[in-house]
Amino acid sequence: MEYLTTTQIAEKWNISRRRVAKLCAEGRIDGAKLMGKTWWVPDDAEKPEDQRLKGKCNGQ
């Protein structure tokens, strides 16, 4: 299994590097590992659903 940095995953998922790091810290990305100050994410990891947008489609 290959691992990618938060920068590489951010580009792949079209989100910010900071958001990827936050998802890793919250344990929402399976297989993500913190080595030193760098998060490493499996290259086949799936992007978690954005819970911040939950309910906004219904005008809430």
In a domain, 24, yes or no: yes
> Quick check: pTM over 0.85?
no
Residue 57: inside a domain, yes or no? no
Q: What is the span of the domain harbouring residue 36?
A: 3-44
Residue 33: its pLDDT value, please?
Answer: 98
Listed in order, strand segments (DSSP E) in the chain are 3-5, 33-35, 38-42
What rounded mean pLDDT belongs to the chain?
91
CA 3 centroid distance within chain = 13
Does residue 52 form part of some domain?
A: no
Residue 28 in any domain: the answer is yes
Domain count, the chain: 1
pLDDT digits (tens, 9 = 90+) for 6-31: 999 999 999 999 999 999 999 999 99
